[in-house]
Amino acid sequence: MHVGLVIVKGGPKGRMIALRDGETLVGRAKGCKLRLMASDVSRRHCLLTLTGDRLRVEDLGSVNGFVVNGVRRRDAAWLMPGDRLRIGPVEFLFVYDPDSHPPHPVSPESLDVTIPAPAVFSPQPQDLPWAEPLDSPTPPQLPALSEDLPLAEPED
């Protein structure tokens, strides 16, 4: 039986995470069966419950919730085969095919998807040919705003 989540974005593409009937805790904490090491994933982010060919996703009070087929959720949702689930930066495809076997399934107990922090871009003057260099190291002073400016009237 081929039941699980396939990573389509934000991690090792094509990696299959096999799911079994029952619950799978997702988050950054060590006790989670599926660990997603990203700053926008809570320690205990959501709970996946597989029942037959349906997958229930329940938010556990995370800050960012999860996304199902492009719609952000902060409650619970049922997924059908072919639905997409995004938790933090990782997007999964829910697959269910009772007659086939995945080539190399990874059980949640052995999976630790690590998402590296994004690189910080510190541009140098040569990286920005359109920018003019400042003549002095301190930024120019902006003129003070007048408090006598008229306020815009709302339009009908």
Question: Quick one: the chain helix, strand, coil %, rounded to 5?
Answer: 5, 40, 60
Write the burial class of residue 111 (CB in 10 Å: 0-12 exposed, 13-18 middle, 19+ buried): buried
The sign of the CA dihedral 42, 44, 46, 48 is positive
* pLDDT the model gives residue 31: 86
Q: What is the widest separation between alpha-carbon atoms in the chain?
A: 75
Over the stretch 89-135, which tens digit does the pLDDT of each residue have?
999 999 987 766 555 555 554 454 444 444 444 455 555 555 555 55
Over the stretch 63-74, which tens digit does the pLDDT of each residue have?
999 999 999 999
